Amino acid sequence: MAQRNREQRAAAAARRRAHRRAHAGYNSPGSDSFGSDSFGFGRFAAGAANAGTSRAKPSAETISTVLLSAAREHGSGDAEAGARIATLVAERFAEQPVLVAAAVQCAVPPLVAAAWERGWAPEDLHQAGRRRLDAVAVGYLVDAIAEESQRYAKATVAQRWSDDLRQIGAVVWWEPTQTGGHLLQWVRRHARSLADALTTVIQVLALLLALPVLPRIIAPPGCAAASAAPRRGVDQKMLARVRALLAKAESTTFPDEAEALSAKAQELMSRYSLERIVVDSAGSPGSDPHPAAARRLWLDNPYVAAKALLVGAVAEANRCRTVLSEGLGFTTVLGDEVDLEIVELLSTSLLVQATRAMVSAGSQISRTGRSRTRSYRQSFLLAYATRIGERLSTARDVSTAAVADSARLLPVLAARERVVEELFETMFPRSVSRSYSVGNAAGWHAGRAAADLAVLDTRPAVRSAGS
């Protein structure tokens, strides 16, 4: 028993040291892109070679240092570093797979926890992985997220964090107490060699090492108050109705039908949001009792900036603000929880509709035979976003004016705008504006026409909560 306790204490100490090394390996704070980490790989390679001939008994911590070093070299541009060092380690310790598994435990979980401390949530890590790793490595990353998450008491995990874990399918499918832990069970489950598994581990480590600091939008595990009130969101029955309408709008091939379905969805969401504001302000006239929140909407390449403009148009019409992090591939939306839910739903649907309309135009070729497809599609999305913004803003103003109890509504809207602005200044004190130019007239006109077909209006008068 005493021997087992000493081993557990030694393993814990090794994890703490690995955690400190992991923090030391990150890029400088404030970076907005995945960068490289310069490391003296020549010194490491020589050390690894010497370790292979040394009679000294290697430790899990020593092997984890090798893996982290290989990850840094992989991240700095040596695409073969991962496979090369993975093969070296697998061959050197072929008779000690449990030791290798312990080394992976010294390296991976501390970096996942460090990413959370740097503002990354489970969905963010998953989205980053989707853009930079193959499917096998993304699955391993999700497992690492699940493993680190289960270390914390449920009462200290925020609801949004749990929602993220459920969204990406982060569950502990392996038996944690089994010898070799996750790594060796992963090898058996995926029918991979130890070298293949270590190559995947090194790729995941390279991603984690390159993550920049992000503004925190969700309290990480262990920080959420056990007594915290559940987050305020949209009524689930109403949400289901809106999702059904938008799904039909996305699937139909008839523009008129898509317009009617989208208009109905917007009508439901706008009415619900305004009525909710009136009800919530009953006990605190002239103020907004709820704090502003933030969400990240990840956007697929290409045309990330143009797609972000569409999200921004929807956000502005729903009393929210946005900030684009183009190098990473997402836009941050700030606003009330209910409004954020509306922005996410509507933006996702409009992006689907816009992409479908844009692609249906096919490739664009100039008179001289040069491809104009990229400029056409870029201009198409810019025009689409601009026109959607115009129409949503009009619909917002009509909806607001139709509320019977405007004397109670307008002061709360003003208070909510101040709260959102304060959060914006806190999270993004050095944000800058950016302009975009249109390089294809045909794409611009086609985009505005498509936006007209996707018009979102709130024609019926909006009822107040008491009517």
Instruction: Measure the CA–CA gap between 24 and 209, rounded to whole angstroms.
Output: 9
Name the pTM for this structure: 0.77
- Bridge-based pairing of strands 330-335 and 321-325 is antiparallel
Instruction: Measure the CA–CA gap between 450 and 387, rounded to whole angstroms.
Output: 9
Instruction: Measure the CA–CA gap between 361 and 384, rounded to whole angstroms.
Output: 14
Question: The tokens of 396 are what?
Answer: 């917002």
- Tell me the torsion sign for CA atoms 266, 270, 271, 273: positive
For 331, the 3-state DSSP assignment is strand
Which of these, 214, 342, 176, lies nearest to 272 by C-alpha position?
A: 342
Give exposure, 415-452, as e/b (b: 16+ Cβ within 10 Å): bbeebbeebbeebbeeeeeeeeeeebeebbebbbebbe
- Describe the crossing of helices 255-280 and 441-453 by its angle, rounded to 10 degrees: 70
Peptide bond into 176 cis (omega under 30): no
- Bridge-based pairing of strands 293-298 and 321-325 is unpaired
**So what's the pLDDT on residue 47?**
45
- Bridge-based pairing of strands 293-298 and 330-335 is antiparallel
Q: How far is residue 58 from each of residues 45, 48, 205, 343, 403, measured CA to CA in Å? A: 16, 11, 21, 54, 72
Tens of pLDDT along the chain (467 residues) come to 555 455 455 555 655 555 555 545 444 334 444 443 333 333 444 444 444 444 457 899 999 999 999 999 999 999 899 999 999 999 999 999 999 999 999 999 999 999 999 999 999 999 999 999 999 999 999 999 999 999 999 889 998 999 999 999 999 999 999 999 999 999 999 999 999 999 999 999 999 999 999 999 999 998 865 444 455 566 777 778 888 888 888 888 776 677 667 767 766 777 777 777 767 666 555 555 578 999 999 999 999 999 999 999 999 988 899 999 999 999 999 998 888 988 998 899 889 888 888 888 777 776 676 777 788 888 888 888 888 888 777 777 777 777 666 667 777 788 888 999 999 999 999 877 665 555 566 666 566 666 666 645 333 333 333 33
- The sheet that has 293-298: what strands, in order across it? 293-298, 330-335, 321-325
- Tell me the torsion sign for CA atoms 91, 96, 98, 102: negative
Q: How far is residue 398 from each of residues 43, 119, 214, 416, measured CA to CA in Å? A: 68, 38, 37, 19
Instruction: Measure the CA–CA gap between 409 and 276, rounded to whole angstroms.
Output: 10
Which DSSP helix (H) or strand (E) runs through 333?
strand 330-335
Cβ-based burial of 205 (10 A; exposed 0-12, middle 13-18, buried ≥19): buried
**348: CB partners within 8 A, 6+ apart:** 246, 297
Find the angle CA(322)-CA(323)-CA(328) to the nearest 5 degrees: 130
Question: The tokens of 20 are what?
Answer: 């400190």
Q: Give me the helices (H) in 133-289, please.
A: 135-149, 159-168, 181-190, 194-209, 236-251, 255-280
